[in-house]
């Protein structure tokens, strides 16, 4: 039986559909079967090029701050820790596609599965041919990094008869509990937890991917183009930190964003955040504010109702620390 390429996808627009289309067209169908598992529909011409297509309508996006992961900004004067530079955590949605695909592949009799995301450019298949041979002796092959997180989430090559059963399980209730306790925040965190119980795994350097003409995360934009995040200092003062990331990190050709901050539906702060610049705007003590609305380029991004938020929990995850 052939090995299987398991491709996880979310392609709601033409740009992402074309990335998936090009990736599938680059796979040698004589050597590999193809399965696409997606939270969005895909065009018929793509379906006709794969062996399996699974659509899952349950695209769980977690928007509560307690489920999102903390990101970090630093300069000479302060550190910023925030969960709020991105609108949601898609960990559970992404993980469900993986487990659904691996379970289906196992039921269909596949032994060796190479799990990879749709926004991949594959100019050579040699790396996965080698991984297939390595799976004769190992349960899985994954890619380590020399930065955080310490692994590339995908690709991973699996031998389905050898891997830990946790690779097939998506328990949404348990995963939400892990997220809320802070131990697991990302799909990489969850994978590392499972990898700790894989005695026969094999690690490769992530640099081998590019060296072997495999480009991953082509759609990735680095999250939101601009950070606009409410944070709290040691004296319980609420501030809004914004940072217009350097152009090299952006997908959009935008040099400036207009930011409006509406406080308790009456007071405005209005400013333009230029490319590469940061702003730190004091609001008032968090105990004296009810609502905060952030508007970017005349579009409302988010509203915070501090009467409904666990303020102590919010402060622990979204904070300003002076140096």
CA dist 259 to 81, 219, 271, Å? Answer: 20, 26, 5
Q: At what angle do helices 91-107 and 187-195 cross, to 10 degrees?
A: 50
pLDDT of residue 86: 86
Rounded to two decimals, what is the model's pTM?
0.89
pLDDT at 148: 86
Please state the domain extents for the chain.
3-62+89-215, 226-322
Residue 323 confidence (pLDDT): 92
Residues with pLDDT less than 50, the chain = 221-223, 249
Domain covering 226-322, topology? Immunoglobulin-like (2.60.40)
Given this chain, do its domains 3-62+89-215 and 226-322 carry the same CATH topology?
no
Q: Is the dihedral of CA 151, 149, 251, 87 positive or negative?
A: positive
- Alpha carbon distances (Å) from 263 to 63, 101, 130, 133, 286: 21, 46, 58, 60, 11
Which helix (H) or strand (E) segment holds residue 45: the answer is helix 44-47
pLDDT score at 87: 87
Task: Name the 3-class secondary structure at 241.
Answer: strand
At residue 174, the pLDDT reads 94
Please tell me the distance from the alpha carbon of residue 228 to that of residue 277, in angstroms, as a whole number: 12
Q: What is the tens place of the pLDDT at every residue in 216-259?
A: 999 864 445 689 999 999 999 999 999 987 765 455 556 788 99
3-state secondary structure at position 280: strand
What is the fold, at CATH topology level, of the domain defined by 3-62+89-215?
A: Spore Coat Polysaccharide Biosynthesis Protein SpsA; Chain A (3.90.550)
């Amino acid at each position: 039986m052939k090995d299987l390429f398991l491709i996880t996808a979310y392609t709601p627009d033409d740009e992402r559909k074309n990335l998936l289309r090009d990736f599938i067209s680059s796979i040698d169908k004589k050597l590999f079967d193809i399965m696409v598992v997606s939270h969005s529909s895909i065009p018929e011409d793509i379906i006709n090029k794969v062996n399996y297509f699974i659509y899952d309508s349950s695209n769980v996006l977690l928007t509560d701050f307690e489920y999102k992961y903390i990101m970090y900004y630093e300069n000479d004067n302060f550190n910023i820790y925030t969960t709020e530079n991105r609108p949601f955590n898609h960990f559970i949605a992404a993980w469900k596609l993986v487990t659904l695909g691996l379970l289906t592949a196992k039921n269909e009799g596949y032994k060796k599965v190479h799990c990879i995301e749709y926004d991949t450019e594959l100019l050579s298949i040699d790396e996965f041919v080698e991984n297939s041979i390595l799976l004769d002796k190992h349960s899985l092959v994954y890619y380590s990094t020399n930065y955080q997180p310490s692994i590339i989430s995908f690709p991973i090559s699996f031998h389905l008869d050898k891997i830990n059963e946790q690779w097939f399980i998506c328990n949404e209730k348990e995963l939400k509990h892990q997220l809320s306790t802070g131990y697991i925040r990302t799909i990489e965190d969850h994978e590392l937890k499972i990898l700790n119980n894989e005695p026969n795994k094999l690690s490769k350097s992530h640099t081998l991917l590019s060296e072997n003409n495999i480009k991953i995360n082509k759609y990735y934009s680095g999250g939101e183009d601009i950070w606009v995040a409410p944070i709290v200092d040691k004296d319980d003062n609420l501030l809004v930190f914004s940072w217009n990331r350097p152009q090299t990190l952006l997908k959009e050709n935008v040099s400036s964003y207009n930011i409006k901050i509406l406080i308790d539906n009456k007071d405005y702060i209005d400013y333009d955040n230029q490319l590469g610049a940061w702003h730190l705007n004091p609001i008032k003590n968090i105990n004296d504010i009810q609502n905060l609305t952030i508007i970017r380029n005349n579009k409302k991004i988010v509203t915070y109702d501090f009467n409904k938020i666990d303020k102590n929990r919010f402060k622990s995850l979204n904070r300003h620390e002076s140096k």
